Structure 1
Amino acid sequence: MSRNFVGRAHRTGPFVGARPFGARDRHLFHGRTATVNTLVEAWSGTRLTLLHGDAGVGKTSLLRAGAVPALTDRGARVLPVGHLLLDPAFPSAVLPEQNPFTRALLASWNPGEFPTHGPGTSTTDFLRDHERTDRYGRQRPLFAALDQTEPLLRAPDGPGPHRAALVDELLVALDEHPGLHLLLTVRTEHLADLRRMIAAHGTDHTEVRVGALPPDSAVHATARALDTAGVRRPLPVAERLVEEVRTVPGPPARGADTAALTETVDPALLQTVGALLYAEGSDAFAADDVDHALAVHLSLVLEEVAAEHLVPRDLPHAWLRRAAAAGGPGAPPPAADGVRDPDLTWGLVHTLQDRHLVAPGADGTGYRLRHPRLTRPLADLAAHPRIEATPEPWTIADRVVVARRAHTRGEPDLAGEHARRALRATPPPRPRERALLTSLLGDLAFERGDPAVAAAYYAEAAELLEAVGDGTGVARLLVAQSSSRLQAGQRAAALDGLRAAAGRVHGDPSLRTGIGQALWRVGQSQSALDVLDSVLVGDRSASEARRIRNRIRAELTSARGLTPRGSW
């Protein structure tokens, strides 16, 4: 969601804008009763459910404001809705062999535990810890969801091993936990890829599709939301608004007489237009009002997309106009367009898609304007450059989120540049924010194979947290720093760092696991086993500790009991 809407959400009344509905918006979420019931029954009756549809049709809203509250009302145990966003609060170098997307998912399923506990746990062990039985000893159902699986299915260089591995891990968890009911949301364009992964594992599943709203449902839902907000005569206002959103403008030369109406209503566009006009205090919903409001909205979104991807605003604007002018599949994908627009990155195009401005072409080779209702406002924006709006200034928190999103998406250079710009900002970031940004730079350096640079970043971040008394955060960074130094060949400094960290991590199994793994890497297998055994005595869910301990034991067994000696 664009930042300007987040900042003024209180003025959008019964509309949520382009962001999804959440549990707190349940009283405004209407028009999907049948689909919610279908989804709840599928999720309850099937071990694996796929909820799919095009971007912006309301999958997240259906899940968060519909299915989850409905199950909760029945007394079901539902984990918080999972999502994927890599977090530098737990540095990558602490447990470098663990899947970072697993950590991200478990952090969202159990946010109160992360990052102090839980980062070194597998999905299977996490779910085992959350299993419950009834008074007859039968496992109670546990409902879990991963919303927006796209980061696992799309990336600049393909999904990659970590992304695909998380899907496999979730399918294995279904086999091992008979009480688990898992729901994944996915865009229809990626459904075939997900189906193939599920079929390869031999897992049965059910699919529920969500599409655009029928006009009658859209009018009914909008009228109920308007009535909740106290708008006078909500039904006529809802009818006018829905008709405006459905309108497909005719060719400019022939005028409005040739306008047509779409057969369905785009939920994202309906919420966006409603929020724009409500914020402006408009209840007329005249065509000119809608066109102007959408033109200003497009200007804001394009400014923000360009700022997020560090390109001139004219670049996404021109590409969007080509997508609109083509009428069919539209503007070619970035690789085909690279000669004309070398800065038109893979991520920028997908951000335009995520902002509900473009959609993939039917043949999968290009992109089209998402909705024909945007054609006229887009043309107005091109013809009248003075139609522009100024987004709210970037904050440090904005930079942190955008950098983490780029990292998760698979754009490390962009993530790093946002982190560096935030560190140079005026006023400067607070120590904790500065430490988080610096830790992110450490993660990026570590992941690109530059451990000496990563160690320097982690050391700087540790000093910042030491100054504010965050001993737990310092311990994480000391382990990350030592792990990086080991990979850089700085054995003596690494061992000093591990000794310093050892006195701080008694209550943190993940950090002690990281120390054990580092000791193993420098050939001190017995010391590593001692550390890992102590972890498992207190926490049987420390999956990484168990995995590393088993590898060390296997190595020692194959060496016929010749245990490397030495004390750290």
Structure 2
Amino acid sequence: MTRAAIVHAHGPFVGTRSFGARDRRHFLGRRSETEELVRSWSRHRLTVLHGDNGVGKTSLVDAGAVPALTDRGSTVLPRGELRFDPAFPAAILPGQNPYSRALLALWSPAEFPTHGPGTSITDYLRTHESTDRQGLPRPVFAVLDQTELLLRRSCAPEPVRRDFLDELLTAVEHRPDLRLLLTVRTQHLDELRRLVDKREVDHAEVALAPLTADTAAEAVTRGLALGGSRTAARDAAALVGLAGDAAPSSDPSRVRGASVGPAFLQFLGRALWEAAEGSRAPLVPDSGADVDRVLTGRLTEVLAEVADEHLVSARVPLDWLRAVAAAGARGVGRPAREEPGNALTPGVVHALEDRHLVTANRDGSAYLLCHPGLAGPLAALSPFGGGRPSDGGGFDPLTAARAAHTRGETELAAAHARRALAARPAPAPRERALLTALLGDLAFERGDHPAAAGYYADAARQREAVGDGAAVSRLLVAEARNRLMAGERSAGLTALAAAEGRVHHDPSLRAGIGQVLWLAGQGNSALDVLEGAMVGGGGITEARRTRGQIRAEQGAAAPDGGRG
């Protein structure tokens, strides 16, 4: 989409998503905050950017700081949402932290899944270091956004999440060229501080506050003027007047009206822009009822998205949001708890929080609406269904399944995968194979090795049918490990032999083959394969670790203790 088309589609408003690099022209009102963040990020090995829910941390990074750094020639590693990827089955190198593997896939997508998997964060940075003209290490800038996803209560195993953060902070300690930025909601700042304080690392904190009313009005006025509006100042004043008490805060006693929450400003602005598009009416209708009607329509869409993602009726998030609004009207927060017969889950609540509809108190025990102006539209919503992904709207069951898997909601991930595989028309071959492999990953993680082997074998046949030999090799190694762990030695060795005959330039897979050979009792063959994996530049950490374990085992088994 061209810049002109983007402006025509939603004006200066991005809606429920954050600003990105392509929206840089419309990311206004944050110049000083951008300069402060770039300065801190450049000077310290670790920078923590914190602020309340919906204050614009991700936008400040993606549309402010990152473009500013790239403009001056700095190396900034790609950023995105962590997602487990079944393209590299979990059973190949189960010893690697899955969040670490997901992060390296983001940082270096061209190397996934052949070289990145099986390598630690520190080893990745060591093998990708560069120097300037004076031979000094060139700083590498990296960001982990929404770190609260790894800190808050969730279904994902806490030790796995904490081990990942520990590995990331270890890399900050050991790699002087790394400049890491973590963004986190203020609600989880103390918990993150406890992890950081255990480290001997130079770090700084940058706090991000909501926009002042004056700054918000100026930013919206400039944004509307860029789109050719002749009534920009009037429309901006009216919009900021509606959003002026929208400061999301974990402190219910905060005086409202003194600041503007960027998330609600963008949500409301996008809805009103689209409603007014093609008419000569002002951006903000004179009637409050008309504003509520626009918000009601947009809330319907958002709640349907949440319902689709979590396979529940849209009444589930709607009823809970209404309860949150009622509790807020009484001056108290609404607890987020599962009730008998209610499909409300922590995942549903977090989805509403991540869409900036609710905000939690300091300990996450109770919630308030991010903006009291949402109460009226929520009350006006008519009962509606949901819970079955719509035919349109861009819903992607594979993306939903991967996201649920990453959050630790394994039953939901499996339900999305099975529903998609049973859908008509059937998924495309590649998507079908990935969904099947994801079911294999889930079975492997719960220890059901016969089922995992079956899913991996099925996915391998699907990949074979479309001529994707590299993917077939990975799936065969995953199958082989599970056959061996299920006691099916002959079938496991057969799958492994088939995979070995296909491997070419895939060092990460070689590391996995070495591990499976060791599992099969073929230590010397495993050592040969692992040496080749380390030469190939992929799977370095896992290959080196496994080699050390095999040598230690062989040394302990020798009559003289391995000496001689």
The question of a shared fold, defined as TM-score above 0.5 by the shorter chain, is answered with: yes
Q: Does residue 404 of the first structure (1) align with residue 402 of the second (2)?
A: yes
Moved more, 21-30 or 166-175: 166-175
Q: How big is the shift at 1:362?
A: 4.6
Q: How big is the shift at 1:562?
A: 8.6
Q: How big is the shift at 1:289?
A: 2.8
Structure 1 equivalent of residue 376 of structure 2? 376
Structure 2 equivalent of residue 254 of structure 1? none
Moved more, 479-488 or 31-40: 479-488
Amino acid paired to 2:333:
G
The alignment partner of 1:201 has SS state of coil
- Partners of 2:441 and 2:452 within 8 A in 1: yes
Cα gap change, 1:303/1:538 in structure 2, threshold over 3 Å: closer, same or farther?
closer
The alignment partner of 2:425 has SS state of coil
Q: 2:31 aligns with which of 20, 24, 33?
A: 33
Counterparts of 1:194 and 1:231, CA distance in 2: 44
Q: 2:208 aligns with which of 189, 207, 210?
A: 210
Q: Does residue 182 of the first structure (1) align with residue 180 of the second (2)?
A: yes
Structure 1 equivalent of residue 251 of structure 2? none
Q: How big is the shift at 1:146?
A: 1.1
Q: How big is the shift at 1:307?
A: 2.2
Counterparts of 1:346 and 1:172, CA distance in 2: 30
Structure 2 equivalent of residue 252 of structure 1? none
Counterparts of 2:417 and 2:392, CA distance in 1: 12
Give the CA RMSD over aligned residues.
Answer: 2.4
Query: 4+ residue stretches of structure 1 with deviation over 4 A?
Result: 7-10, 384-388, 394-397, 561-564
Report the count of equivalent residues.
Answer: 541
Q: How big is the shift at 1:506?
A: 2.2
Structure 1 equivalent of residue 273 of structure 2? 278
Give CA-to-partner distance per residue, 1:56-79, whole Å, 9 cap, x none. Answer: 211111101100110111111111
Give CA-to-partner distance per residue, 1:289-336, whole Å, 9 cap, x none. Answer: 3211111111221222122212222221111111111114422122xx
- Partners of 2:213 and 2:259 within 8 A in 1: yes
Structure 2 equivalent of residue 288 of structure 1? 289
Counterparts of 2:238 and 2:47, CA distance in 1: 37
Q: How big is the shift at 1:364?
A: 3.5
Match runs of 1:421-500 below 5 Å: 421-500=419-498
- Partners of 1:438 and 1:460 within 8 A in 2: yes
Q: How big is the shift at 1:435?
A: 0.4
Q: How big is the shift at 1:14?
A: 1.8
Match runs of 1:157-556 below 5 Å: 157=155, 160-246=158-244, 262-280=257-275, 281=277, 283-286=282-285, 287-327=288-328, 328-334=331-337, 337-339=338-340, 341-362=341-362, 364-381=364-381, 384-385=382-383, 393=391, 398-539=396-537, 542-556=540-554
TM-score w.r.t. length of structure 2:
0.91
Amino acid paired to 1:418:
H
- Partners of 1:329 and 1:361 within 8 A in 2: no
Counterparts of 1:49 and 1:538, CA distance in 2: 34
Cα gap change, 1:61/1:146 in structure 2, threshold over 3 Å: closer, same or farther?
same
Counterparts of 2:153 and 2:294, CA distance in 1: 34
Give CA-to-partner distance per residue, 1:492-523, whole Å, 9 cap, x none. Answer: 11111111001212210111111100111122
Counterparts of 2:48 and 2:364, CA distance in 1: 21
In structure 1, list runs of 5 or more residues that go unmatched.
1-6, 249-259
Q: 1:61 aligns with which of 46, 59, 62?
A: 59
Q: How big is the shift at 1:363?
A: 5.4
The alignment partner of 1:185 has SS state of strand
Counterparts of 2:136 and 2:58, CA distance in 1: 31
Q: How big is the shift at 1:345?
A: 0.8
Counterparts of 1:87 and 1:10, CA distance in 2: 35
Give CA-to-partner distance per residue, 1:381-434, whole Å, 9 cap, x none. Answer: 2xx55899x995257861111111111111000000011111111211011010
- Partners of 2:114 and 2:538 within 8 A in 1: no
- Partners of 2:417 and 2:435 within 8 A in 1: yes
Match runs of 1:94-105 below 5 Å: 94-105=92-103
Counterparts of 2:21 and 2:524, CA distance in 1: 50
Q: How big is the shift at 1:47?
A: 0.6
TM-score w.r.t. length of structure 1:
0.91
Counterparts of 1:391 and 1:425, CA distance in 2: 11
Give CA-to-partner distance per residue, 1:224-264, whole Å, 9 cap, x none. Answer: 1111111222111111111122268xxxxxxxxxxx96211
Amino acid paired to 2:272:
L
Give CA-to-partner distance per residue, 1:123-157, whole Å, 9 cap, x none. Answer: 01111122111222211111111112233213435
Structure 1 equivalent of residue 249 of structure 2? none
Counterparts of 2:141 and 2:32, CA distance in 1: 20
Cα gap change, 1:98/1:395 in structure 2, threshold over 3 Å: closer, same or farther?
farther
Give CA-to-partner distance per residue, 1:324-357, whole Å, 9 cap, x none. Answer: 11114422122xx423x54211111111111111
